[in-house]
Amino acid sequence: MMQRKTFIAIIEGLDAQYKRDIAVAEVLSSVFTNTHASNFMPNNKFWKDSLFLTLAMLMDDHEDWIKYYCYSLDFGRKKRIIKDDIILSNAGELYDFLMKL
């Protein structure tokens, strides 16, 4: 298992990079007005898939909760009850949830 502090730092780093990618794409789309900002988002699929695979292995996440938190819950910004009234609103709560599985 990974230490809680390390896990949180990694997830928060992914979120920060995603926010930065969006900001850069929006600036580029304001300069190149004939295309939508989403066309300027970098394709980070390969390194993200590798990182998610590594995190899943280290955290014994066999149900892809980490990906779910990042993508479906938008890093905790979208609130949904998961199991037994658990709401994953930050990386620390995700870590605690994974440790109970």
pTM of the predicted model as reported, rounded to 2 decimal places: 0.91
Q: Give 63-97 pLDDT, tens digit per residue.
A: 999 999 999 999 999 988 887 788 899 999 999 99
What would the pLDDT profile of 16-67 be if each residue is shown by its tens digit? Answer: 999 999 999 999 999 999 989 999 999 999 999 999 999 999 999 999 999 9
pLDDT at 95: 97
Longest dimension (CA), the chain: 49
Q: What is the token pair recorded at 49?
A: 């898939």
Instruction: State residue 1's pLDDT score.
Output: 87
**How many other C-beta atoms are found inside a 10 Å radius of the C-beta of residue 95?**
21
Angle, alpha carbons 62-63-68 (nearest 5°):
130
